[in-house]
Homo-oligomer: A and B are copies of this chain.
Amino acid sequence: MKIAILGMGSVGRGLLEMIDGKDLGLTVTGIADSKSALLDPDGIHIEEVQMAKRERGVCGDKELSAADVVERGDYDALVEVTPTDARSGEPATGFMKRAIERGKHVVTSNKGPIALHFATLQSLARKHGVAIRYEATVGGAIPVMHTLEHGLAGNRVIAVYGILNGTSNFILTRMAAEGLTYAQALLEAREMGYAEADPTYDVKGIDAAIKLVILSNTIWKRNVKLSDVNITGIDMLTNDALRLAEEQHCTIRLIAEAVPEKGILRVAPRILPRTHPLVVENTLNAITIDTDMAGEITLIGKGAGSKETASACIGDLLFIRDIHARGH
């Protein structure tokens, strides 16, 4: 299968490394970063691109752009792994639409387009007989979309609960374990490289809420928006509250929660028994899917990371190759 990759950040580089190191039957015929692009219908030499990126800071030809790859590239699936723009979802959404209109499958790790334009993208993909897959947008390496789509097929999903942001989970873990204040734990998260200079997106629950929107729309096709989510972050949490919870064999986690029957769609700090399957430590993510037949199924794994996100994208690509491609 021929693929074109947009984005040479952490995910794009991880993807190239995995494709180069494994015999997955994937040929890369197009690559673009923010300043350049490269096209070769016979397959791009991955190690040369990696070296160019490292040494010159660009992966290819500055005369070419992502739009050229999308428009002129010879590929079966577009892998869109540029950084998330949560406000407009652009330019990623535009690229995905063009690829779909050209009859190409799309795989993405980009939360913006899926949270903002899921229904549009899905119906466009259906119209053109291609797949749009986005396993990497929620829970990193955790194959939650595959589980919803196939593993739990036939089940009615009643609710979904998740720890969907590793940064805030790390902060809460450290506050509970060491009695740190929120400010101290945030500082530690920054030192470990888990929190960005501006941690708003993570600690205020916005990142988790975007993922909750994606999960909800996948499960219930309800077309909810970020503004529909009731959001409380962890930045006002005191270590007194945590100590109180711990004294009663509980702890506090930032839980994203959707229970349509009860009208619940929220991200907020919640008290949970320490033995609850959702209570994971440090930067791990966890998702519980509550169903009518299977009961509660919980999935735990790394919510971020270059290789881990690449794993999710590769799972999507191989599924397209093995399943969707059959029909053609």
Contacts and interface: CB of A to CB of B under 8 A. Distances in A.
A300 B294 CA distance: 11
Given A153-B315, A275-B281, A314-B153, A141 B294 contact: yes
A308 interface: yes
A295 interface: yes
Nearest to A155: B311
Contacts of A277: 280, 284, 286, 300
Interface in A113-160: 135, 141-143, 146-147, 150-155
Interface stretch (A77-85, A186-194, A229-237, A318-326): A318-326
A291 interface: yes
Most buried by B among A18, A153, A307, A323: A153
A310 B281 CA distance: 33
Interface in A85-122: none
Contact of A308 (B286, B295, B300, B326): B295
A147 B143 contact: yes
B298 A300 contact: yes
B300 A314 contact: no
Instruction: Describe A's contact surface by its main secondary structure.
Output: mixed
Nearest to A297: B301
Contact of A318 (B147, B154, B286, B315): B154
Nearest to A314: B154
A317 B310 CA distance: 30
A279 B276 CA distance: 10
A249 to B, nearest CB: 11
Nearest to A26: B154
A302 interface: yes
B154 A146 contact: no
Nearest to A135: B151
B308 A141 contact: no
Most buried by B among A279, A284, A315: A315
Interface of A: 18, 22, 24, 135, 141-143, 146-147, 150-155, 274-275, 277, 279-281, 284, 286, 291, 293-302, 305, 307-308, 310-312, 314-315, 317-319, 322-323, 326-327
Enumerate the 7 nearest inter-chain pairs by beta-carbon distance, A residue then B residue, closest first: A143-B151, A293-B311, A141-B294, A146-B151, A154-B314, A298-B300, A294-B311
